[in-house]
Chain A
Amino acid sequence: MTDTVVQSEIEQVEQDVVDFKMVTFSLGGKDYGIDIMRVKEIAKFIEFTYVPNTAHYVRGVYNLRGDIISVVDLRAFFNIPAEKTEEGRPDNGLILRFESNLLGVIVDSIDKVVGISSKRVQPPHPIFGDINIKYISGVADYDGNLYIILDVDRIFRRDDESGKGPDTMARRRVERAEVTASDVPVTQREQTDGSDGIEGSVEETALTFIADGVQTFSDFYLTSINHRWFTGRVKEWLNRRLEQGKEYQLQEKADADAFLSPFLSRFTGTLWRDQYAEQFGRNLPATESTMYNVWNPGCGSGQESYSIAAILKRRFPNRQIKIWAGDKDLLPISSAPNLVFHEAEIPDGWEDFMVKGKNGLTFHSEIKEMILFEFSDILSVSALPKMDIIVARDILSFQRKEDQERIIERFDEVLKPGGILVVGDNEEISDSKTWKPVEAHPVKMYIHR
């Protein structure tokens, strides 16, 4: 008995491992999926160049930013009735990647990216009438929907010699197509044609694609910590890219950086000043102890740590202040202990913390000695004393979801009750039982209960 329980638990765990991602879409009101590794991007097709004397399912060729690719209408290919797209409206589609070429396919609408465990994919059942069973690699159940996973390699394989390639398939299909005319009006789909519904789904699709992009290029993970910022940013991004006449998908690291650039907190890479410094100083926890400990993971090249040191020194001149500052990026952290500043970079009133050297200004030794710069990864940090303050700006969002949770648990462990946690301007922690938000705009601050 117990054995079976354990067994089923193991199976449950195995089923929860996401190792297969697919892009889902609909064709004639049914849900389908294609392995994400085969999908180069999702696209809107408009203005095809018609190619005479081709199979009826070939819509033509399309100019994809300079590459000419053929576009196949999957609905015509499988003889699924489809509504005619209005003149001038783009068709929804996917660009598929094969070993030697790219191919565009048109579908009714793109749904989303779904991650499942490959254990959940079941073999196809012969009763899926619309599509020949040999083009289906399996069926997966996700969130109550059944997705038919298409085997695109099989469908579009060039197998000219044996004569089993798309050409022969096409011929057979044309015969069948005469029975079910390919432009049968479909009433069911037309109802969803209201512009609101479509807009919403475009944004959702964009969100998953962009989230995938920033994760691949910049190790940014979309979670509840940054979700609010992310959804707003996606809207902004879609509009801007549309104006610029560019694709919204992130094609390279530079795109991901451009997308994320407004995410970074105020005074990243510079000394804190003005209202930000003031609000931080005003809301510091006033403890009785003579020691004041600060943890500053992800400190980069150290401007943040020096700012914290100077503000604390001003507020508590007689306390013994110690700041543990760490970063896993070797180059920036190596330069942190000997950081040199120009006169214009120094906030008003901090002049007496600085000494003049031959290359510029540096903080004097009393401030420097407060900070311990370490080459260290937040995930493996250990043996820290109890902290009064943790400043962790824009670091959580760049950790995997499970690591984010682990780190927040670590914060909970290390921070004294009543201590404060500062996160990035565009990050938030939703667990209000442990972390009580502090009204300190523009600083994103929480009190540890």
Chain B
Amino acid sequence: MRVEYINPFVESAYSILSEVLQTEVHRGELYLKSAAMPMLGVAAIVGLAGDVEGRVLFDMKLETAIAVASGMLTNMDMEPVTTFNDMARATITELANMITGQAVTKLHNLGFKFDLTPPAIFKGDNMEISDPDFEALIVPMEIPMGKIEVNVAIRERA
């Protein structure tokens, strides 16, 4: 993946998570992956189009998703959730939108033009994702509620 794309995603994941959860966020070591990979349980996916093609995936365990949604809601003076209901889904969708949106804004300022698709949420056990022609950058973010893996796969349109 083009090196210029890396930092905007890492920075916006870090700043949005610290802001909406009001908690300490720790970024793990970045790495690359291309083979099929197992998913943790809940995933939000945002498609990218324009000069590039690709997608950003936010992957976390179900209990992490519920805790993150509750944390975000509490910070907005709303009731926390106990199950992965519509409210929780909407909150995780919003989180994915905020992080990708901020990254794309940063990239726009650097001269790269991207469009976003609305996020889609997946939930299930033993899921696996594979996009054989993509090399994905994994940005692991550690928060007190667990781990969120930001999985970015973007390539230049040939």
Contact = CB atoms under 8 A, between A and B. Distances in A.
Interface in B29-60: 30, 32-35
Contacts of B30: 330, 375
Interface string A379-407: 11111010000000000000000000000
Contacts of B4: 337, 373
Chain A interface extent, by class? 10 to 19
B120 interface: no
Nearest to B2: A374
A372 interface: yes
A194 to B, nearest CB: 54
Interface in A334-353: 334, 336-337
A374 B1 CA distance: 5
B156 interface: yes
A373 B3 contact: yes
Contact of B158 (A328, A337, A383): A383
A377 interface: yes
B133 interface: yes
A377 B133 contact: no
Contact of A382 (B33, B134, B156): B134
A327 B2 CA distance: 11
A376 B1 contact: yes
Contacts of A333: 3
B32 A337 contact: no
A375 B156 CA distance: 13
Interface residues of B, number: 19
B27 interface: no
B34 A380 contact: yes
Contacts of A330: 6, 30
Interface string B127-158: 00000111101000000000000000001101
A71 B156 CA distance: 64
A328 B3 contact: no
Contacts of B35: 380
Nearest to A383: B133
Contacts of B34: 377, 379-380, 382
A375 B135 CA distance: 9
B156 A372 contact: yes
B106 to A, nearest CB: 15
Interface of A: 328, 330, 333-334, 336-337, 372-377, 379-383, 385
29 contacts: A328-B32, A330-B30, A333-B3, A334-B3, A336-B3, A337-B3, A337-B4, A372-B2, A372-B156, A373-B2, A373-B4, A374-B1, A374-B2, A375-B2, A375-B6, A375-B32, A376-B32, A377-B32, A377-B34, A380-B32, A380-B33, A380-B34, A380-B135, A381-B135, A382-B133, A382-B134, A382-B135, A383-B155, A383-B158
